[in-house]
C-alpha cells in the first residue's frame, strides 16, 4: 500500500499546481462550464488568491493531487475559518483512500473551524465529502452563492 502524504507546495512549484488545475478543470466540465482560452487552456483566475496554504497530495514519491487551503470562507465571509478552496485527486488514485487520507492530514495541519463547500452539480464530490468528513460529524446545510447551489459542511478540526 502506498504512503499518502500532504506536503506544502513551495512558491516555485506554483506552475506545477497550475498544470494540475487544468486536469481538475477538465474533470469539472462534466457539470460546470469553464471557458477555454485561445491558448487551449481552461481559464482560471483564482490561483493567486488561493495560494495561501497550497499542498501536494503525494502517493509515495508521486504527485496524486493537490489541496489549496485558505484562511477564510469566501461563501460565508467567515474569518478566521479554514476553507478548502480547491481539492483534486488524479483519477488513478481515486477510490483508494488517497483523498480521505489527504483530508485528514489537511485537518491536522490546520486545526480550528472549517468550511467545505461542494456544488450540488458535482455529484462525485457530493458522495465523497460526507464520507471523508464522517469523523468530524459536520453540520451541513444548503446555501446559494454566486448563482450556484452548494452544500456547506461546517465543523471544528482539533
pLDDT of residue 1 exceeding 80, the answer is no
Q: Which spans in the chain are helix H?
A: 14-28, 47-50, 98-109, 123-132
Domains and CATH numbers, the chain: 4-157 (3.40.630.30)
**CA 58 – CA 2 distance, rounded (Å):** 9
Question: Cell numbers 483508494 label which residue?
Answer: 96
pTM confidence score: 0.95
Q: What is the pLDDT of residues 75-126, one digit of tens each?
A: 999 999 999 999 999 999 999 999 999 999 999 999 999 999 999 999 999 9
- CA distance to 18, 35, 41, 42, per residue, from 38 (Å): 17, 10, 8, 9
pLDDT at 33: 85
List the Cα angle 104/90/58 in 5-degree steps.
Answer: 50
Q: What is the pLDDT of residues 37-51, one digit of tens each?
A: 999 999 999 999 999
Amino acid at each position: 500500500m502506498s504512503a499518502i502524504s500532504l506536503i506544502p507546495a513551495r512558491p516555485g512549484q506554483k506552475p506545477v499546481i497550475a498544470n494540475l488545475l487544468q486536469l481538475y478543470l477538465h474533470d469539472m466540465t462534466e457539470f460546470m462550464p469553464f471557458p477555454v482560452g485561445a491558448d487551449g487552456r481552461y481559464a482560471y483566475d483564482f490561483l493567486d488568491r488561493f495560494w495561501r496554504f497550497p499542498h501536494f497530495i503525494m502517493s509515495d514519491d508521486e504527485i496524486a493531487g493537490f489541496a489549496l487551503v485558505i484562511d477564510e470562507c469566501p461563501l460565508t465571509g467567515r474569518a478566521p475559518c479554514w476553507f478548502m478552496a480547491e481539492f483534486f485527486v488524479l483519477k488513478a488514485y481515486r477510490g483508494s483512500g488517497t483523498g480521505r487520507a489527504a483530508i485528514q492530514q489537511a485537518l491536522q495541519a490546520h486545526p480550528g473551524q472549517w468550511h467545505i463547500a461542494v456544488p450540488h452539480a458535482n455529484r462525485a464530490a457530493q458522495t465523497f465529502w460526507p464520507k471523508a468528513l464522517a469523523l468530524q460529524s459536520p453540520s451541513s446545510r444548503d446555501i446559494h452563492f454566486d448563482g450556484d447551489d452548494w452544500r456547506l459542511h461546517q465543523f471544528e478540526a482539533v
